Amino acid sequence: MGKRATVYFDPDIHKALRIKAAKTETSVSDLANRAVRQLLEEDREDLKAIEARVAEPTITYEALLEDLKANGKL
């Protein structure tokens, strides 16, 4: 058994969750937990990608525009 929390859903989202829960024979809580886990996993993957690129050189937006112009791309 997990921790209890009160979550307020938009009425249309809540309706969709109730219907999906009924069709998949699961609970709204299970669907919400799965969705949150997926979001957290995406965040974890994003953070790993950022960490892997931390040593890459950076360029300012202004410098990028100048480079594009100098190479005939703008």
Report how far apart, in Å, the C-alpha atoms of 68 and of each of 51, 56, 57 are.
27, 19, 17
pLDDT value of position 1: 74
- pLDDT tens, residue by residue, 35-55: 999 999 999 999 999 999 999
Is 1 part of any domain? no
Is 47 part of any domain? yes
- The tally of domains found in the chain comes to 1
pLDDT value of position 7: 94
Contacts of 28 by beta carbon, 8 Å cutoff, 6+ apart: 14, 17, 18, 21
- pLDDT tens, residue by residue, 2-39: 899 999 999 999 999 999 999 999 999 999 999 999 99
Structural domain that includes position 57: 11-70
